[in-house]
Structure 1
Amino acid sequence: MAQVSMLISVLFASIVKTNGQANCSLNNPCGPHGYCRDKTGAIICECKFWWDGTLCDHQTNSGIQVIVLGCLLGALMILFYGLQIGNMIRRRRKQPKKAEKKEIPYNTKLVDLAIHNAKRSVRLSSFIIAICMMIVAAVGLVSKWTIIQPIHDEIVKKYLNNQSIYFIPNNFCDVTTYQNFNVITFPVSCFVILLFIIRSQRVSCLRDKLRGYGTPPVPIDFLSHIDRKFAAVVFAVCADELISILQEAFNGGGAKGNGVIVSYLLRLLQVIVMGFRYYPMLAAVYINSIFTLACGTIYAWLDYSMTIVNQGMCQPDFYPTYEDSLDNSTTISENLNYFGTGPSLIAIQLCTDIPRYLCLAYINVKLPMLLIKRISRRFRKNIPFEERMMKKLTREQRDFFRISNPTSVEMLYVQNLFRSIADQRPPSRSLWARLIPKKIYEWRDDFQFSARVLCVYSSIFLLLYFVAIQACVRVIPQLQFVQKLIQSILDAISIIAIASPSGDTEEAQVDTSTKIVDSLTSNFPVPELTRPYIVAVFMTLIIITTQLLVMLANIRRNLFQSFRGDDSEIPRRQRSRYISYAAGNIHFAGYFIGYLIWGFILAAVFSALICIAVDAFITFGSVRLVEKILKIIIPSLLFILFKQYLNKLLAQYVFLQHQGDVLALNNRRILMIFIYFNFFLDAFLGFISSIMRLVKSVVGGIIYMCRLDYSPLGRKLETMDGGFSAYCGFIHTECAHRHPVMLVFVSHLYTQIKLKQWEVKKRQFNDLSKDEKSPTKSNRSSRYVRKWKLLVFLVRNPTIVFFRKAFLNQLHIDEIHALNDVDSNDKKNMQQRLSIYARRMSAARGSIVSETSLNRVQNCRL
C-alpha cells in the first residue's frame, strides 16, 4: 500500500512538473514514425516498429531485414504460383476436347424462369395462404401497436417529469397471468390434449381395452416428411420463448431465495409448459381428422389473441413494471435517452415481432385451410373404392403408400442407383435448383430433409434474428459507459506493468513515474464502440449463418455416405455403441442450439476485438500495444511462410518426378542431404509452429463451435466430443429408419399386400366372386410358383438364409448378434458365422442349400 501511494504521489508531481514546459502538442518533431513524449522538460521521440534515430527518421537493421525477407517471400510466392498457373494452362492444352453436352431444355430467359417455372411450383392454395397470412399478421401487429401506445405515453410522461419510470399492468394481466403462467391457454391446451387422447387409438399396447381408444397422440414424426413446413413454423415460434427463458437464466431471475436446483427446475417447468402450449396444434395436424383440426383451429385462434393481448398489455419488451424497475431502473432511461421519446421503441419492438407474427399467422391460416380441405373430402360423392379404403388407414400407412409412387423422393433415389454415372441423373425441376448455382449447392429431387432438421433450423434462424436485434437494441445505448470502463482497465494494466519493481533509488522512481505519465496517453486508445460493435454483430451473423448452411449441406452428404456404407467421415456403426447412438440422437437438437448460442457469444467477442483494433488504427492512425504485438509476430510469420514456399517449390520441381504428378522421388542424393540439414533447422520453426497451432486451434474452435459435424478434437478423439457423438447418433438413427432402399422395399411389400386385400373386398362388395373353386385353384398354383421362385433365389443367393425368419428362430441370441454384426474385417466373427452356418445346415438335412453352396459361402468374404 505504501508503494502504491508513493507511485500516485510521484505521478501527480510529475504531471504538475511537466505543465508549462515543452509540449508535444505544440511542437512534434518525431514525424509519422514516432511518438512524442515529454520527459523532464525535454521532448523525446519513441519510435514505431523498426524505426530508429533521435527523430525516428531512419530504419534499424531489423527493419531492413524484415523488408528484404518480405520481398524475397513475395518473389518466391510469385514464382511458385506463376509456375502453378503455367502448368495448369499446359495441361489443359494437352487434354482432348470434350464433347459438348446437350443443353437441358430449360427456359433460359429470366422472365420465363419467373413466370412458367414459378407457376408450376406454386399452387393456388399456397398463394391464398400467403395472402391471408400477411393480412392476419398485419392485424396482429396493428393491434399490438394500439395496445402499447398508451403504455409508451405513460412511460414518457414519467420520464419527462423525473418520476419513477414504470407502468401499472391492467387488471386483466393479474387474472390471466400468474408468474409468467397463462391460466387461460394452458388449461384449454390440456383439455384439447385430453380430447385427442380419448379419440386416439392404440396400435400395440392393450388393444382390447376401451376398444383400443385412449393414448397420447404423436405431435410430430421427426423421422418422416409429413407436415414438415407446419412443424418447422411452430418450432420457429418456440424460439422466441426460448430466448426469454435463456434471458431469465442468465440474469438469475427467480434464483433469489429459491436455490440453484429449484431455479433450474423452474426453467425446465417453463420449457414443459411451452411444449404443452403448442402440442395441440401439432397433434391436430398429425392426426388430420375433422374433429382434431376443428379443435386445433379454435385453440390456435384463442392462443393468437391471448399472445397479442399478453405481450402488448402485460409483458412489453422495453417497458418495465414496478418489480422490473427495482432491478433495472436505468435501462429504460438509457433507451429513452438514446432512441428518443418518440415512437422509435414501439417501431423496434414491432420490427422484432414481424417474423414471430408471420409464423403465428401461418398457423392460424393453415389449420382452417386443412379443416376445409378435410371437410370437402369427407362429403364428396362418387369416391373411388381405393380412396375409400385409404381413408381407413392410419397416417403412417398412407405414408407407406406414398413411397411406392414413382415420383416419390425414395423411389427417385432408388432409380438413380441404377445410373452408373452421376451426370445421367436427371436435373431437378424445382425453381430453387435454377436459382442456386450448382457450385454452391446442388438441389436434388431424390432427397428431402426430415422434419427434425427443418424444425431445428427454423428455430435457430429465428433465434439468431431475435438475438441480433436484442444485442443491438439493448447494448448500443450502454456502449459509452462500456468504452470508459474498458479504457480505464487498459490504462490500469499499463500502469501496473510499468510500475513493476525496478529498484528503490530515487532516479528509478522518477523514471517509473515518467513512464506512468506517458502511459496515460494509453497504449491502446479505445475508439467509439458503436461502429465496431455493429460491424462485429453482422460479421458474427455472417460467420454463424455460413457455418449453419455448410452443416446443412454436410448433413445431406453424410446421410448419402451412410446410405451406401461409406465411413470416411462418420465412424462406422457398431453394435456396442447402439445405446450411445440412441442417446446422442435424443440430445441432437438441444446440443445444436446450446453450441450455437455459445458459438455466437464467442464469435461476437472475437469479432468485436478485431473490429475495435481495426477501428483504433483507422481512428488514431497507430496503436502502441498492437504495434508491439505485430513487431513480434511479423518476422516469425515471414520466416515460416518463406520456408514453407521454399519447401513446396523444391518438392514439386526438384524432389518429385513429373512435377509432383507422381509420388516418386527424384534427385535422391540431394534430397537426403537437404533433409539432413533441414532436420535441425525445423526445430526452431517447430517451436513457432506450435504456438501457431495453439492459436489456430482457439480460433478454429470459436468459428466451428456451432458445427456438430466437425470435432475440434480430431479423428482419434472425436468420440469424446459430446456434440459430435450426438451428431453421429442422429445420422445413424436417420440412416437406420429412413434408408430409401429399405423404405421402397417395405412400401412395395405393404402396398402389394393391401392391394390384394382390397381386391378381395372389392370382389365381395361387387359380388363378383361366385365360383369358389377358381380362386382356390389360382391361389394354390400361385403358392407353388412362389415356392419355386424362393427355391431358385436361395440357391443362387445362399447368404440370404442367414436372415430368414425360420432360420433366425433356431439361433441363440449371441448367434444372432454374430450374424447381425456389420464388421466384415473381424476374422473371429467370420469364423463364428461360418461355423453357425455349417452346424445348422448339417442339422437340417432337408435344407434347400447344397454342399456346393456351402463351399461357395466359405470361399467368399462375408
Structure 2
Amino acid sequence: MAANSSGGMQDALLDNSFVSNDDLLSDWYIYETLEPSAPQDDMFPSIIPDCDPTISPRLYHICMAPISLAVLLGLSLLVKRRHLHRSCWNGIPGLLSPANFLEEEGNRGLVAAVFGILFSSLCVLVLDKDPLPLLAPSSQSTREYWKILALLYYPAFYYPLLACATVRHKLGYLLGCLLSWCHCAIHIWQKVDCPQSPKIYRYYSTLSDVPIILCLVLLSFWYPALLIRSFTTQEETWDNEVPGRGYYKKYLKAILSKRPGKKSSTKIEESLLSQVRMYLRSYTYTPEEGFRLPLKLLLSVSLALIAVYQVALLLLVAVIPTIQIVRAGMTKDVVVLLVQFGLVPSENPAVPGDMEKELSTVKHYLWSLEVCYICSLVLCCLLTCAMLLRTLAMHRTNLKALYQGAVLDVFYKAHILRPSRRAIVCWMSFAAFQTAFACLGLLIQQVIFFICSVAFTFLVVIPLQSGTNTYLFKVIQNMWPFWLTLVVAVIVQNLMAHYQFLEQLSLQKELTNRRALYIVTYLLFPINVLVGVLAGVWRMIISALYNAIHFCQLDISLLNRSVETFDPGYHTYCHYLKIEVSQSHPVMKAFCLLLLQPAKPQGTAGLRATNIEEGIQLMQPKKAPPSRSRFKKSRARWGLAYTLLNNPSLTACRKNALSDPMANGTQLSPPKP
C-alpha cells in the first residue's frame, strides 16, 4: 500500500510535469526570475564592470611614494640643521620620530587620524587582489608574499604625515598641509570617479574608505591650524616649549589643591533611580579636571572603534545581499524540497502544484533571518562600543591608583613598576592588541547573538504568530511534570532551609533539626543532580555571554586570578601600565620640570642656570630678601617632595638616585648599618 502510494506520487509528479527541464534551469538561474522592481545591479555585484579611475591606485602610489620619501629626507636634514638629537648616530641624519607616545602633547587627534588611515588601508589590503599597488597585477602564488611586503610598505608610505608634526617647524607644517591635501583630494576624486566596484558589494569599496577620507579631512584642517599657530606664536617660546609641560602643571595643581571633604555620619540611602544612573555612568567616560589619558590609550580606543566599523561593514555586505538574492530568487521547486524535508509546514504536501502559501512562508522565513542578522549585528556594535567606553573609565581608575602607589588595587600580586624587556614589548603591541581583540570580539558576539536570535525567532516568535506548535512547545508540553518537579524541589528546599533548618538566636543564626536535614539531603540527591545539570548549562551560557561581551576589554582578565597571566590581553595590559607609570608619571615629570627650570637672576649677583650645575643653583652668594613669591615656590616644592616621599612606586628610582655619592653636587654621608 505504501509502495503504491509512493509510486502514485512519483507518477503524479512526472505526469503533471509542473516544471519542465528548461523551466527548471531558468528558475534556478535567478537572473531571469527576478521581479522587475528589484534592480539586478543591487543584487549581483559580479555584473558590475570594473571601473578604472582617472588617477589609478598604481599611478597614485608611484607619484606619492617618492614625494613622501623626499619629504621625509628633507625633514630629517632640517632637524639635524637645527641641532636637535646631535648625539643620534654621530650627527648622521636618521628617521624622525612619528610621535612622542610617552609625552603629553597637543597633536593627539593628528596621531589618531594617521593611525586610522593606516589601519583602514590594511583592512582594504586584506581583500585586494593587488596588495602592492606599485607592482603589476600579482598572481595567486605570489599574492601572499606581496601582502607581507605591503604590511611594511603602508606604514612607510604614511610616515611623513606624522613626521611633519613631530619636527615642530613651520616648514614641516607646510609640507604636512601639502601632503594631506594631496592625499585627501586624490582619495575623494577616486571615489567620485568610481563609486561602485565588483568587490563583495557594489558600494563596499566606497564605504570602507570612509574612515580614510574622514581622517584625511581632519589632517587637512589640522596642519593649517598648526601652521597658523606657528606664525602667531613667538618662535623662541615655541622651540623651547617642553611637550606636556602645561598638563603636568595642571595635574600637580589639581592634586595639591584637593581637600578631603567631611563625610557625614548619617548614611543616606540611595534610591533605585540613582543607583541605575550611577551604573550607567560607569559605562561612560567623562573628562576629569587635571587628568588626561595617555596617548596610547586614546589611540587604542579610536582604532578599536574604526575596527568595529570595518568588521561590521564586512559582515553586513557579505551576508545581507546574499540573503536578499536567495529570497528574491526563491521558486516553487525549492519550496517543494523544503516541504518534503519538513522544514516548511504545508497543509497539502501531496499536492506540489499549489505552493503559493508555502512560497510566501519561505520568503517570510528568509526575511526574518535577515532581520535577526541585522538586529544582532547592531546589538553587537553597541555592546562593543559600550565596553570600549567603559574601559576608558577603568584605565583612568587604574592609572590614578598606580600614580598614588596603590599597586594591589590594580594587580593581584605586588608588582615592581620598572621597565623590562617583556614590558617594552607589551607596550609596543598594546594598541595593536586592542584593535585585534575588538575585531575578534565583534565576530564572536555576532555568531552567538545571531544563533540566539534565530533560535528565539523560529522557536517562539514565528509559532506564536502562526498559531502552530513547534518542537520547543511540544517538548515543554510533554515534559511539564519534569519541570514542575524541579521547580517544586527547589522551592521546598528553600522553604525548609529557612523555616526548619535555620534557627534565629539573639545575634546569630544556627543550624537545627539536623537529622531531618540529613534525611532531606539524601532523598533529594537524584533531583539535585538534574538541577545541577540545568545549573551547569546556565553557567556555560552565562560564561560564554560574559566572555564574548567583555572580550574586547583588556583591563580585565577572562580567567581566574591565579591563572590570569595566561590571558595574553590582560598580560599585555599589565605590562603596558608598568611602562606608562614608570616613564610618564605626571608628578615625576612635574618634579623634573621644576628641577630643570632655570632660576631667575636677581640683581648683579644672579647666576645663570646654563653655566652652573643643578645643585649649585640653589646656593646664592647673598641672601635675597624673602618675598611672597619665593615662599609660594618653596611651599610648592616642599609639598611636591612630600608627595614623592609618600609614593611607593618611586621608591626604587629614589634609592638608585640617592646612592650616587655626588648626587645633586653634594657628598652624602655613608648609610648607617
Smaller-chain TM-score bracket? 0.5 to 0.7
Task: Note the 1:301-316 alignment, pairs <5 A.
Answer: 301-313=181-193, 316=194
Cα offset for 1:287? Answer: 2.8
Contact 2:117 2:216 in 1 (8 A): yes
Q: Secondary structure at the match of 1:667?
A: strand
**Where does residue 372 of structure 1 map in the other structure?**
228
**Where does residue 590 of structure 2 map in the other structure?**
747
Match of 2:127 among 229, 240, 247: 247
Identity %, equivalent residues: 16
Q: Distance in 2 between matches of 1:279 and 1:666?
A: 70
Q: Distance in 1 between matches of 2:534 and 2:278?
A: 46
Q: Distance in 2 between matches of 1:494 and 1:577?
A: 68
> Is it true that 1:591 corresponds to 2:433 in the alignment?
yes
Cα offset for 1:479? Answer: 0.2
The structure-2 alpha-carbon separation of the partners of 1:762 and 1:588, relative to structure 1 and needing over 3 Å to count, comes to farther
The structure-2 alpha-carbon separation of the partners of 1:845 and 1:639, relative to structure 1 and needing over 3 Å to count, comes to farther
Measured against aligned partners, the alpha-carbon deviations of 1:126-182 in whole angstroms (never above 9, x if no partner) come to xxxxxxxxxxxxxxxxxxxxxxxxxxxxxx99999x9964145256427605xxxx1
**Where does residue 289 of structure 1 map in the other structure?**
169
Cα offset for 1:629? Answer: 6.6
Q: Distance in 2 between matches of 1:695 and 1:176?
A: 53
Cα offset for 1:207? Answer: 5.5
Q: Distance in 1 between matches of 2:531 and 2:440?
A: 34
- Relative to structure 2, which stretch is displaced further, 602-611 or 631-640? 631-640
**Where does residue 570 of structure 1 map in the other structure?**
411
The structure-2 alpha-carbon separation of the partners of 1:370 and 1:722, relative to structure 1 and needing over 3 Å to count, comes to same
Contact 1:403 1:744 in 2 (8 A): no
> Is it true that 1:185 corresponds to 2:64 in the alignment?
yes
Q: Distance in 2 between matches of 1:688 and 1:543?
A: 27
Cα offset for 1:547? Answer: 2.1
Letter in 2 for 1:571: Y
The structure-2 alpha-carbon separation of the partners of 1:846 and 1:602, relative to structure 1 and needing over 3 Å to count, comes to closer
**Where does residue 447 of structure 2 map in the other structure?**
605
Cα offset for 1:371? Answer: 0.5
**Where does residue 729 of structure 1 map in the other structure?**
575
Letter in 1 for 2:391: M
Match of 1:478 among 315, 318, 322: 322
Contact 1:232 1:458 in 2 (8 A): yes
Contact 1:596 1:705 in 2 (8 A): yes
Query: CA RMSD for the aligned pairs?
Result: 5.3
Provide structure 2 residue ranges, at least 5 long, that are not aligned to the other structure. Answer: 14-38, 265-276, 344-348, 351-357, 609-618, 625-629, 662-666
**Where does residue 697 of structure 1 map in the other structure?**
543
Letter in 1 for 2:533: F
Letter in 2 for 1:366: W
> Is it true that 1:176 corresponds to 2:56 in the alignment?
no
The structure-2 alpha-carbon separation of the partners of 1:744 and 1:577, relative to structure 1 and needing over 3 Å to count, comes to closer
Match of 2:87 among 198, 206, 213: 206
Q: TM-score, normalised by structure 1?
A: 0.55
Cα offset for 1:350? Answer: 6.6
Contact 2:98 2:159 in 1 (8 A): yes
Q: Distance in 1 between matches of 2:536 and 2:670?
A: 65
Q: Distance in 1 between matches of 2:596 and 2:169?
A: 25
Task: Note the 1:363-762 alignment, pairs <5 A.
Answer: 363-378=219-234, 388=236, 390-393=237-240, 397-399=242-244, 401-403=245-247, 405=249, 408-416=250-258, 419=260, 438=281, 441=284, 443=286, 444-480=288-324, 526-528=365-367, 529-563=369-403, 564-572=405-413, 574=415, 578-616=420-458, 617-620=460-463, 621=466, 622=468, 624-627=470-473, 666-670=509-513, 673-674=516-517, 677-678=520-521, 680=525, 682-739=528-585, 743-756=586-599
**Where does residue 236 of structure 1 map in the other structure?**
116
The structure-2 alpha-carbon separation of the partners of 1:392 and 1:756, relative to structure 1 and needing over 3 Å to count, comes to farther
Letter in 1 for 2:552: C
Provide structure 1 residue ranges, at least 5 long, that are not aligned to the other structure. Answer: 1-6, 20-155, 321-327, 336-344, 380-387, 424-433, 498-512, 515-520, 766-773, 811-843, 855-862
Contact 1:232 1:455 in 2 (8 A): yes
> Is it true that 1:318 corresponds to 2:201 in the alignment?
no
Cα offset for 1:699? Answer: 3.1
Cα offset for 1:370? Answer: 0.9
Contact 2:438 2:552 in 1 (8 A): yes
Q: Distance in 1 between matches of 2:8 and 2:213?
A: 63
Cα offset for 1:731? Answer: 2.5
Measured against aligned partners, the alpha-carbon deviations of 1:417-453 in whole angstroms (never above 9, x if no partner) come to x536699xxxxxxxxxx99985654732132211122
Q: Distance in 2 between matches of 1:159 and 1:218?
A: 46
Contact 1:238 1:274 in 2 (8 A): yes
Letter in 2 for 1:722: P
Cα offset for 1:540? Answer: 1.8
Cα offset for 1:557? Answer: 2.4
Measured against aligned partners, the alpha-carbon deviations of 1:585-626 in whole angstroms (never above 9, x if no partner) come to 222222222222222122222222233334334345356344
The structure-2 alpha-carbon separation of the partners of 1:583 and 1:745, relative to structure 1 and needing over 3 Å to count, comes to closer
Q: Distance in 2 between matches of 1:422 and 1:612?
A: 52
Measured against aligned partners, the alpha-carbon deviations of 1:626-662 in whole angstroms (never above 9, x if no partner) come to 4467679988777667666766677678777889xx9
Q: TM-score, normalised by structure 2?
A: 0.68
Q: Distance in 1 between matches of 2:591 and 2:534?
A: 62
Q: Distance in 2 between matches of 1:455 and 1:10?
A: 73
Letter in 2 for 1:753: L
Q: Distance in 1 between matches of 2:209 and 2:553?
A: 28
Cα offset for 1:198? Answer: 1.8
Cα offset for 1:244? Answer: 0.9
The structure-2 alpha-carbon separation of the partners of 1:706 and 1:646, relative to structure 1 and needing over 3 Å to count, comes to farther
The structure-2 alpha-carbon separation of the partners of 1:565 and 1:445, relative to structure 1 and needing over 3 Å to count, comes to same
The structure-2 alpha-carbon separation of the partners of 1:647 and 1:193, relative to structure 1 and needing over 3 Å to count, comes to farther
Letter in 1 for 2:230: R
**Where does residue 272 of structure 1 map in the other structure?**
152
Q: Secondary structure at the match of 2:102?
A: coil
Q: Distance in 1 between matches of 2:419 and 2:233?
A: 47
Measured against aligned partners, the alpha-carbon deviations of 1:829-854 in whole angstroms (never above 9, x if no partner) come to xxxxxxxxxxxxxxx996475xxxx6
Q: Distance in 2 between matches of 1:471 and 1:761?
A: 74
- Relative to structure 2, which stretch is displaced further, 166-175 or 265-274? 166-175
Cα offset for 1:191? Answer: 1.5
The structure-2 alpha-carbon separation of the partners of 1:579 and 1:301, relative to structure 1 and needing over 3 Å to count, comes to same
Contact 1:404 1:748 in 2 (8 A): no
Contact 1:410 1:447 in 2 (8 A): no
The structure-2 alpha-carbon separation of the partners of 1:559 and 1:669, relative to structure 1 and needing over 3 Å to count, comes to same
Contact 2:308 2:438 in 1 (8 A): no
Letter in 1 for 2:220: N
> Is it true that 1:217 corresponds to 2:57 in the alignment?
no
Letter in 2 for 1:593: T
Q: Distance in 2 between matches of 1:158 and 1:533?
A: 23
The structure-2 alpha-carbon separation of the partners of 1:763 and 1:598, relative to structure 1 and needing over 3 Å to count, comes to same
Task: Note the 1:347-366 alignment, pairs <5 A.
Answer: 356-366=212-222
Q: Secondary structure at the match of 1:561?
A: helix
